[in-house]
Structures are given as structure tokens and as C-alpha cells.
């Protein structure tokens, strides 16, 4: 009801969020705050986005049950789980291996069988694996902020007619943007709302790295 009041109108998005137990994805120290509309720490200097941001990003993609989705920034896996309830398959990349391992365990616990997760450099997109390319993707969602514009590798992995939701900008001046790929050279861009995300960083994080 809170999300409805804040402008989330897509019944599929509301239904997916209702069916994914957010409290299962947060550390036990903050579990009593799991259903408040706020971001929460999940370790490694990362956060789980507030439910409204998850909902607005998901709604903007206009998902169908036939879509193949690329997610950059698995985190605790909550956004992945919401997406998995609405599309054919989710391919998700996380640069922090401990977060990825916990997320994969949670996907197994919840029997979410249509999520494939790997530790990799999300700025390079989904890698070719076993001689198979999964790209192009119908939709791409990025849960960390690009400084100026989306990485070209991600734009290249978006199918014609597909769209990407991504925060863009430096600290304190980020805007959530929706990019629609009209052709190999042309994109339409729509500003959705101001946001605050951790920065999009390259490479797989070292064990000592916390942010």
C-alpha cells in the first residue's frame, strides 16, 4: 500500500515485491527494519536499495515474462529475486564474492531457479562462457552509479528496442536514467528521478576491499 501511495502502479511489480521476503536478504542486525522504505547495509560497504527504488527501477523496464535480463550489481540478491518473479531469466554480476555467495545461497533457499550469478567485472557486461554468448539482453538494470554515462559494453549488449535503467552522476548529483536503444547508434534517454547509489567500479573486488 505504501508503494501504491508513492506512485507504483504496475500490479506485476507490486505482486513480485509482495512475494519476495525482503527480511531474508538483510543481515540479522537490521532485520527489524527490513520492511521500512529505506536502504540498509549488507556488508562490504554495500546496501540493499529501499523498496521504492527497487519498485521504480523495475517498473520503468516494463518487463514481460519472455524477457532475458542482465543485472549489474547482485548485492544481497533482493533485486534479482524481484526480477526473477517477472521475467524468463536473470543474469546477474557481482564484484564482491562474499556477497555473491550469500545471494546464491538465498536463491537456492527460495528455489529461484531462473537466476544465473557470477563474480565478474560488471562494467564489461556478461562474458562469453563455454563458447556461448547470452547477449543481447532484452533489458539491463544497473544498481551502481556510472559517473558520466553507461559503459559502452553494456549498451552494446542491449538488443535493439531494449532498455536499460541506470543511475548516472557523481556523489550527490546522481539521476536515475532510462536508456532505450533505437539502433546501434541511437538511444533515447529519460530522466526518472534523483537517487543515491554506490559508484560503479571495475574488476572483481579484492578481499580487503570494503567499498
Taking alpha carbons only, the member of 104, 83, 48, 81 closest to residue 165 is 83
Contacts 24+ apart (CB under 8 A), 179-182: 179/150, 179/155, 181/155
Instruction: Show the CA angle centred on residue 102, arms to residues 101 and 105, nearest 5°.
Output: 90
DSSP strand pairing (115-119 vs 137-142): unpaired
Query: Cα dist. 185→16, 60, 153, 182 in Å?
Result: 34, 22, 13, 8
Query: Is 80 among the catalytic positions?
Result: no
Do 57 and 176 meet the contact criterion of CB atoms below 8 Å apart? yes
The Cα 51–Cα 35 span in angstroms is 8
Enzyme catalytic residues: 49
Amino acid at each position: 500500500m505504501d508503494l501504491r501511495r508513492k506512485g507504483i502502479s504496475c500490479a506485476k511489480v507490486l505482486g513480485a515485491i509482495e512475494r519476495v521476503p525482503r527480511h531474508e536478504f538483510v543481515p540479522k542486525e537490521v532485520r527489524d527494519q527490513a520492511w521500512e522504505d529505506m536502504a540498509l547495509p549488507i556488508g562490504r560497504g554495500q546496501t540493499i536499495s529501499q523498496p521504492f527504488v527497487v519498485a521504480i527501477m523495475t517498473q520503468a523496464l516494463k518487463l514481460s515474462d519472455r524477457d532475458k535480463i542482465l543485472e549489474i550489481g547482485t548485492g544481497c540478491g533482493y533485486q534479482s529475486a524481484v526480477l526473477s518473479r517477472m521475467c524468463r531469466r536473470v543474469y546477474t554480476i557481482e564484484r564482491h564474492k562474499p556477497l555473491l555467495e550469500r545471494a546464491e545461497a538465498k536463491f537456492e533457499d527460495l528455489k529461484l531457479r531462473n537466476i544465473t550469478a557470477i563474480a565478474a567485472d560488471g562494467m564489461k557486461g556478461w562474458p562469453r562462457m563455454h563458447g556461448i554468448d547470452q547477449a543481447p539482453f532484452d533489458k539491463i538494470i544497473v544498481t551502481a552509479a556510472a559517473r558520466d554515462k553507461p559503459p559502452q559494453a553494456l549498451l552494446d549488449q542491449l538488443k535493439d528496442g531494449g532498455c536499460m535503467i541506470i543511475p548516472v552522476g557523481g556523489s550527490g548529483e546522481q539521476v536515475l536514467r532510462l536508456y532505450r536503444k533505437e539502433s546501434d547508434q541511437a538511444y533515447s534517454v529519460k530522466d526518472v528521478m534523483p537517487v543515491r547509489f554506490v559508484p560503479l567500479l571495475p574488476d572483481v573486488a579484492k578481499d580487503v576491499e570494503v567499498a
